[in-house]
Amino acid sequence: MLGFVRTDNEALVSCLGDPQRTVAAYRELLRRGENALSAIRVGLRDADPAVREGCCRLLDHLVDTGSMGQLVAMADDPDARVRIAAFHALACDRCKGETCAPGPDRVLEPALRHLAADPDPQVRARAAELVGKFAHSDARAAAALRASHANDPSRAVRKKAGWYAPGGTIYRRTAPASTGSQDGA
């Protein structure tokens, strides 16, 4: 099956670190769904950053309440690719199905910290997406996005932060429906 010597969940998770087998292992683990969650959670602690990154990408689709804390912790991983995958998984609602996205009490602090100071611009850009989810409801999020939009050394991060900051295109598109008319009619 799949050309692997072993096809148990743990073996497939370890194959996420093998460039020749990553795609097939990822697809099979995704197909196995919640039956593979235990092995994926263990993979978050693997020595190989490619395995940890693959596990974060899998949790983007398979996360459950039991895995959420571990996924949040991956935002502080030493490898930038893992942090990028973790922030994407935490910010992306599209892939979650019935699982509720984590609230600001769990994810806003790490997102604010990485938006302000992560050495990798791609991590800061992903952190901006997560901070942007709370820009309508948390003044710290709005202020951090404004600061990043004005001061980040990366043009790409400044642009993305501007989209999510108050007045930006994504901020306006995601604004909660108002309860009253604002046009004076």
pLDDT-derived band at 117 (thresholds 50, 70, 90) equals: very high
Report the chain's mean pLDDT, rounded to a whole number. Answer: 91
Express each pLDDT in 145-157 by its tens digit. Answer: 999 999 999 999 9
What's this model's pTM, rounded to 2 decimal places? 0.89
Report the alpha-carbon distance of residue 33 to residue 58 in Å, rounded: 9
The encoded tokens of residue 88 equal 């994407």
Whether residue 180 has pLDDT greater than 70: no
Radius of gyration of the chain (CA): 18
Amino acid 68 reads: M
**Is 80 exceeded by the pLDDT of residue 2?**
no
